Structures are given as structure tokens and as C-alpha cells.
Structure 1
Amino acid sequence: MARKPRLHVPGGVYHVMLRGNAGQDIFFSEGDRAVFYLLVQEGIERFGHRVHGFCLMTHHVHLLLQVADVPLSRSLQNLAFRYTRWINRERGQVGHLFQGRYKAVLVDADAYLLELVRYIHLNPVRAGLVADPAEYPWSGHRAYLGMETLPWLHTEWVLGQFAKRLATSRKRYAAFVAAGMAEGHRPEFHGGDDDGRVLGEESFLAQVLEAPLAPPPPDLAAILDYVCPRYETNVDALGKPSRTHHLAEARGVIGWLAMHTGAATLTEVARRFHRDLATLSQAVRRIDLASQQDPAAARKLKRAINEITKA
């Protein structure tokens, strides 16, 4: 059965789930979780979305995200790629960390925002890890209670549903979460209802399905057509055994663009050019670092994305 296309609704709220490949762990230390926090914050600054709730478990992640104009797929592909690169480098491994495509459910926030925040923050309680969600350090719950500060977590919208005064809203939020402590698994929050991409009443579903679909990613051929002339090379040359610097850089740019546009995975690009995945990942990392340190390089890559996606 063909996959249903992603739905992109600017301002839409999504329950996102990222799971370890074959159920494997994705966090191995507090340092890993701290890096994930940093990457989430950088993603917010870059793509303009908001995080309203989250929970990091050992082998999966829940995020409650509100997107801006940039489709969810771009920000999550960036997050997954950069975090996978961190883990693989730290643990001396290669290959996939996350299981296939991320799961994302577009949610009717008017009906489900509060319930979803509670559901996500109670995940450690349902898993038997803690008796009180405030005891779990890797979710947004403690920040909602004012027990810690996470500048990138947007708590105002949810707390504003309970009261105008912050102290009162926090007390009412805590009582609301406590009232759901006995709640079990909610399959509809995981996409187990009708159209698994959307959670809401029929009117919300109809409205969403009339919205434009997320634009399909370009194919790898479009990226090759863009990059090859600029490096005065061709596809055959890129696939031959050669350590020439400009060819290695061209492959790195192709890999970077493929990852950022969703055209292909790095594994697919490596296979296309008969290259080792770890070597290609290093080339992509060099391109990524250059874009962060050199504004001109960043503008060049942004222009490339714009031209490729418009083609």
C-alpha cells in the first residue's frame, strides 16, 4: 500500500514520535540527551517551529510541535541526521539510528492540546519508571511546574488555558496532570484512528484534507543536475574511485542537499556513488560546519535548495 503524503499546515500542531531502529536505544547517557536538547533548540532557531511538550525515553522520543512555514519533514530530517551523526561518532558505529520514517499526527489543538501534553509528560509513569512525572528529568513537565528552565520549550499557550496568573495556572496544570495518572495507552494519539495522519473531529479532518499537501521532495537526479555543472563533473566521475578534493566536496554537497530536501538518505547517496557511508557522512559534516561558520557558504546552500525545490 502506498504511503499517504505528509500534511503540511502552517501553524499546525503535530504529535511526533521518533523510535530507535528495531527498538534499539537512542540515548545512552545524559550527555546524549543534552546534545538532543541543543539540536532541538537550534532547529527552532532555524526553522521557526515551537515545542509545546516533549519526553525523551531510552528508545523513543515524543514531541508536540507547532510548525511555521517550513514543513515538518525538513526540521525532523535535520534533527535525526545530526543526532544520528553524534551517536555514531561517539559510539564508533555507522548506519541508521531511527526506525524508518518518523510518525507525525496532525492534531486539532482546540480539542486535544491539553490532553496530549499530559499524555506525553506521563509517558515515564505509564512505563513504570517513576511514580510522579516531576521525578523524571527528561520531559517538559518540570519546566511547566517552574522546577527548571528550558528556554526553547513554549509553555505559555498551555498554561494560559488554565489561568492568567502564572502561579495559579501551574497549580491547575499540575492538578490536571495528576487527574490523568491512571490513564492508559491512547492509540488515537499514535495515529491509530481513521486517517492516521490527523486527530480531530470530522470538521477538522475535512478542513485539513482540503489544505495543500506538503510539496513532494525533489528527486536525487535534480540535485545531480544542479551540482555537477557547478563542480565541472558528471555522475560517472562521482562514482569512480577517486580522492580528488573537488569530487569529494561535490559528493558532500549532494549528500547535504539530499538530506536537507528529503530527496534521498545518505545511505542511498553512498550506494549511488559506491562510497562508504562513514566517509560520505564526514564530507557532509564538513559542508554543514562550513555553512555554520561562513555566511556566504550558508547563503549558497540556501540558494541551491530554493532552486532545486522550485525545479
Structure 2
Amino acid sequence: MARPLRLEYAGALYHVTARGDRREDIFFQDEDRTEFLSVLGEVCERFNWVVHAYCQMTNHYHLLLETVDANLWRGMRQLNGVYTQRFNRRHGLVGHLFQGRYKAIVVQKDAYLLELARYVVLNPVRARMVQDPAEWPWSSYRAVIGKASVPDWLDSEWLLSQFGSERQPAIAAYRRFVMAGLDHPSPLGRVRHQVLLGDDAFVARHQHDQGDDRLREVSKAHRRSVALELSAYQERYPDRAEAMARAYGSGAYTMAEIGKHFGVHYMTVSRAVKGFEVRRRQLMEDRDE
């Protein structure tokens, strides 16, 4: 019998959905939605999650998130469990709120993150609840375009960096990109084996025997044995963002480990890495001109 696909690993990107039991509403009022976002923030802090997009509907929600560590199941148990407790307490209810287990799809980041982020925030428009995603206050869209504050756990910078280095033109380009998605079919129609969204190589890699896990651990141990100590990166690169980015680029340390050493939130490390990649790519493009 084939072994199950390996769905949890450090650095994985997921599209996650969870629906109400018997398709009933999971949000009765705005206070419920606010409470859910509060619990989500707590989970992101505890489990080192990075959220790229989210949308709260009426009887379900969508998350597009990246796990710095291999802990999706533990984090989702905390998210749905704690929210259920607080929801039931507020409304004087008991029992299950969600319909069984959440659904998670492993996503190839470079190929599908942008498209899925667009799909997630367009849900209220497709459901004819609003005409413009900016009219729906319960998604990440308004934060990305500067119409609402950005929570610590939401990485809006990576999305905007894909549309340019100047903020306002990037926001305008992002808005055009999102609205153009109304003319495109859902990317979830390309999911393979029910849990994988990516090209042939991505799918094949996730179907390999799980014995590869041992090789991954050996590889990581080797990278750490030859990498600089974190304090050495700190001494060699006076710019803290560059020091953190280069430490992460060594492949020897997780964002959580780097953040702990430098005394910053792991999301600060994530932003430093992405900013460094953007600057380096720009330098390479300038040299080619």
C-alpha cells in the first residue's frame, strides 16, 4: 500500500478551509469575526505561522498560510478548538461548531501563491455579497491596499513586492490583478490527488517515499555543521536585516531560531528575507541593463 503523502514540513504553504457543522454559520455577529482573528493571531504567534491571505465568509473561512515549522495540524487544532470554545461561551451553546476536519491543500508557492491570494479575497464578490473586495471588511484585502491596519501575522509586503518596489503603484497593480481574477476559473480546479496544487515536479516530490525525511534531517544537520554561528552573521553584516536574511539563506536555521537570537518576531525575519531578495533581484536586473 502506498504511504500517505507527507503534508507537514517546515516552510510549507497551505490553502486551508473549514466549514460549519451541517453548513451552519460559524459567525453570528461582528464580535465573532473579531474574536476569530484574535485567536488566529494567538496561533500565529505560538506556532510561527505567516498568513498571506484570509477571508471570513458566513459558514466557512479561507486561510492561505505558511508554516515556518512543520505544525499545521497542531495549529489548526488550537485555532478551531479555542474559537469554538469562545463562540459557544458567547452564545450559550455546546457541541461542535465545525464540520469534521479542516481541508488543507499543499501549494507550490512560486507558481500559485499570487493566484490563490486573489482567489481567497474574491470569495465575497463571487458570492455576490459585495461588488468590490474592498467593500468586504473581513478579508486581508483592505489591509494589503492600505485601507485597514496590517496585523503582525499578515505578510502584506510579499504580495505587494510582486507588483513593484514603489508602494502606491504596487497597490494599484495589485488591485487590477485581483479584479482581473473574476474572469479566471478557480485555481483549485487544478488540485491533484485532492491535496496538491503545483507542477509535475512539485507533485512528484511530495509522492516520494517518506524515507526521504531521514535524508532531509541529515542534510539540515550537515548545513548547520558548516554554517556560521548566528553571532558571526551579526558581526559580519552590520545591517541587521541583511544579517538575518543571510543566516536564513544558509539553510541551517529556521526563522524562529533567527528571530530568537536577534530578539525580534519571526515575521520581522520573514520581511527581512523577502526585502533582501527583492533588493538583490533589483541589483541583478540593473546590472543586466
Residues in 2 aligned to 1:141 and 1:90: alpha-carbon distance in whole angstroms: 28
The answer to whether the Cα contact below 8 Å between 1:16 and 1:104 also exists between their aligned partners in 2 is yes
Looking at structure 2, the residues matched to 39 and 60 of structure 1 have their Cα atoms a distance apart, in angstroms, of 16
Q: How many angstroms does 1:188 deviate by?
A: 2.7
**Equivalent of residue 197 in structure 1, options 192, 195, 215:** 195
Match of 2:173 in 1: 172
Structure 2 matches for 1:13-24, cutoff 5 A? 13-24=13-24
Q: What is the DSSP-based 3-state SS (H/G/I as helix, E as strand, rest coil) of the residue aligned with 2:182?
A: coil
Which residue number in structure 2 is paired with residue 298 of structure 1? none
Decide whether the 8 Å contact of 1:188 with 1:199 is kept in 2: no
Correspondence 1:111-126 to 2 at 5 A: 111-126=111-126
Q: How far apart are the structure 1 equivalents of 2:133 and 2:27?
A: 19
* Alpha-carbon offset, residue 194 of structure 1: 2.8
Structure number with bigger Rg: 1
* 8 Å Cα contact 2:150/2:156 also seen in 1: no
Q: TM-score, normalised by structure 2?
A: 0.69
Question: What SS class does the counterpart of residue 130 from structure 2 fall into?
Answer: coil
Cα drift, residue 3 of structure 1: 11
Q: Name structure 1 gaps, 5 residues minimum.
A: 216-311
Which residue does 2:72 correspond to in 1? Answer: 72
Counterpart Cα distance in 1 of 2:104 and 2:31: 26
**Aligned counterparts of 2:8 and 2:210: Cα–Cα separation in 1:** 7
Q: Would you say the 8 A contact 2:6–2:206 is kept in 1?
A: no
Q: After the TM superposition, which of the residue ranges 160-169 and 202-211 deviates more from structure 2?
A: 202-211
Runs of 4 or more above 2 Å deviation = 2-6, 181-189, 208-213
Number of the residue aligned with 1:86: 86
Secondary structure of the corresponding residue to residue 14 of structure 1 = strand
Among 203, 206, 210, the alignment partner of 2:204 is 206
CA shift digits 1:205-227 (9 cap, x unpaired) = 122233859x9xxxxxxxxxxxx
Change beyond 3 A, Cα 1:141–1:93 = same
**Per the alignment, do residues 211 and 57 of structure 1 end up closer, same or farther by CA in structure 2, a change over 3 Å counting?**
farther
Question: C-alpha distance in 2, partners of 1:176/1:8?
Answer: 30
Residues 57 and 211 (structure 1), Cα distance of their counterparts in 2 relative to 1, 3 Å cut:
farther
Distance 1:208 1:108 in 2: 11
Matched, 1:106 2:106: yes
> RMSD between aligned alpha carbons?
2.2
Q: 1:47 to 1:211 in 2, by over 3 A?
A: farther
Contact in 2 for aligned 1:52/1:153 (Cα 8 Å): yes
What is the aligned-residue identity percentage? 45
Counterpart amino acid of 1:27?
A: F
Distance 1:76 1:3, change over 3 A: farther
Aligned-partner Cα distance in 1 for 2:143–2:84: 26
Which range moved further: 5-14 or 52-61?
5-14
In structure 2, the partner of 1:158 is 159
- Check the 8 A contact 1:21/1:98 in 2, yes or no: yes
- Report the count of equivalent residues: 211
Task: Name the counterpart of 2:262.
Answer: none
Distance 1:47 1:212, change over 3 A: farther
Partner of 2:16, secondary structure, is strand
Mapping of residues 224-263 of structure 1, within 5 Å: none
Report SS of the residue matched to 1:203: helix
Letter aligned with residue 210 of structure 1: H
| Contact kept in structure 1, 2:188 and 2:197, CA below 8 Å | no
Post-superposition Cα deviations, 1:22-74, rounded to whole Å, max 9, x if no partner, equal 10000011100111111111111100010000000010000001001141000
Deviations 1:209-246 (A, max 9, x none): 33859x9xxxxxxxxxxxxxxxxxxxxxxxxxxxxxxx
Alpha carbons of 1:121 and 1:92: their partners in 2 closer, same or farther (altered >3 Å)?
same
> What residue in structure 2 maps to residue 96 of structure 1?
96
CA displacement 1:177-197 (0-9 Å, x = unmatched):
1111233444436xxx33111
Deviation for aligned residue 1:168: 1.8
1:34 aligns with 2:9: no
